[in-house]
With several copies, the nearest count.
Chain A
């Protein structure tokens, strides 16, 4: 299955991409995705502890299972206002 991954702010700069399509085994969770992304992008690994994940624009826990076509955003610590 394929998911769309979106990167913002400091993570966008670390990865050097705003978004990408990412191929994953069926049945993968958010946690699996993050581990795979850390393998694919240098410097991302140490940043993930502070990251929340949003699937289709809702915050989710790391164990959430993904399905084909999901939009997954990596949300570094926010700071609006």
Chain B
């Protein structure tokens, strides 16, 4: 008699993910877990209460999720090709409604030697804002607008 179906014994870790769940930097960093690594750098995007002096009530993020995860993985590959001391990359972006002060994105990079982490981290967030199909709508008391940095 075959074993009953159950949860897999494997822990499946997604390094590049779009999710509606709240984000934790510790949790994203734990996806990199590797005791050989000496340093991790993260970028944490936080929902701001204003842009251009206008009071934001909350944000709505929308994604093309399949392509967003694919482009996040592409950014990871670009980084590892360009900065060879970077060991692992994880990027998790939250979508849906988000309140002021909540975390919208966590980028985490690990390296045995830290020198290249910082340029790579800067590249990761710039590139995310350039190619990843995720959009954000600011909701004010008197209206709303889709924002982009482009």
Contact = CB atoms under 8 A, between A and B. Distances in A.
Given A6-B64, A57-B66, A79 B148 contact: yes
Contact of A80 (B66, B70, B135): B135
Contacts of B105: 80-81
Given A8-B62, A79-B146, A80-B93, A54 B133 contact: yes
Interface string B31-56: 00000000100000100000000000
Contacts of B64: 6, 8, 54, 57, 73, 75
B45 A81 contact: yes
Interface of B: 39, 45, 61-64, 66-68, 70, 93, 104-105, 125, 128-137, 146-150
19 contacts: A6-B64, A9-B62, A9-B135, A10-B146, A50-B150, A57-B66, A57-B67, A57-B70, A58-B70, A73-B64, A76-B146, A78-B132, A79-B129, A79-B134, A79-B147, A79-B148, A79-B150, A80-B104, A81-B105
